[in-house]
Amino acid sequence: MHDEWSQAVDTYSQAADRLVEAARTGKPCAPIRDLVTTAAGGYAVQEINTRRALAEGRRLAGRKIGLTNAAVQRQLGVDQPDFGMLFADMAYLDGLPVPVERFLQPKAEAEIALVLGADLVGGPFTVADVIRAVDFVLPAIEIVDSRIADWDISLADTIADNASSGAFVLGNTPTSLTGLDLRLAGMTMTRRGQEVSTGAGAACMGHPLNAAVWLAGTLGKTDHPLRAGDVVLTGALGPVVAVEPGDVFEAHIDGLGSVRAVFSQ
């Protein structure tokens, strides 16, 4: 039994190394599903690289929720979302240049970000618990990226690759949840002034808070529960769009205002 366990750990480490090497060299790698085939295995690989990042002095600043769209879930044959870690060095400022060379195969998506004012440790949690813990809401553009060549990903691949996260840009005008109906909040995203994506809060598991309740409960009893100050990117509100150097994306979300991601040439 011990041999099986150490063999699994060795396999997870190989997968983690492959992803780190792709990020370091800027050369996308082969999928890791030759080594890891389950969601649990994917999270084990993600955790190896999370611990490495924390040991290097990177600071955990929140989480992203992925696969919140029913159509995407069907495509990957899953019935729940996934999550990845957000580090402080992945955050860029509204309207200021985002270095495009940092990414391998970037795409942009508009999301609603929740910023917590209280810890969510333990659980299970109700939607009321989560609402009480949310300090304010911001519009966000998430830059998703894959270390795996051609975005050729299964569920295990994307989870292992930190839920295909790259970076994020938050808007600068905090809004209280009070009186906001995030389910009905419409989103429009433009690239260089042309509309490229539209949607609404309902596209995110029926309501962005549904995704947040899932995340809080999933993480509550782990080593990385949600903490006061954490940013939660709740999931894409509309189609994801490929990023080219020099692109300027602006996402407007009803009731939340807008946010701009400006990519370097």
51-91 pLDDT tens trace:
999 999 999 999 999 999 887 888 778 888 999 999 999 99
Residue with more model confidence, 73 or 24: 24
Provide the 8-state DSSP code for 125: -
State the Cα–Cα distance between residues 91 and 99, nearest whole angstrom: 12
Res. 1: pLDDT tops 70: no
Provide the 8-state DSSP code for 20: H
- As a whole-number percent, the residues of the chain with pLDDT over 70 amount to 99
Structure tokens at 88: 């402080």
144-193 pLDDT tens trace:
999 999 999 999 999 999 999 999 999 999 999 999 999 999 999 999 99
Residue 124: asked if its preceding bond is cis (omega within 30°), the reply is yes
Look up tokens 């300090």; give the residue: 135
Q: What is the pLDDT of residue 132?
A: 98
Look up tokens 């400006």; give the residue: 262
Q: Which fold has domain 2-263?
A: Fumarylacetoacetate hydrolase; domain 2 (3.90.850)
Res. 5: pLDDT tops 80: no
Q: How is the chain split into domains, by residue range? A: 2-263
Structure tokens at 170: 């938050």
Residues 55, 47: contact at Cβ < 8 Å? no
Structure tokens at 149: 């060549």
Residues 54, 228: contact at Cβ < 8 Å? no
Residues 45, 82: contact at Cβ < 8 Å? no
Structure tokens at 185: 């909040």
pTM of the model: 0.96
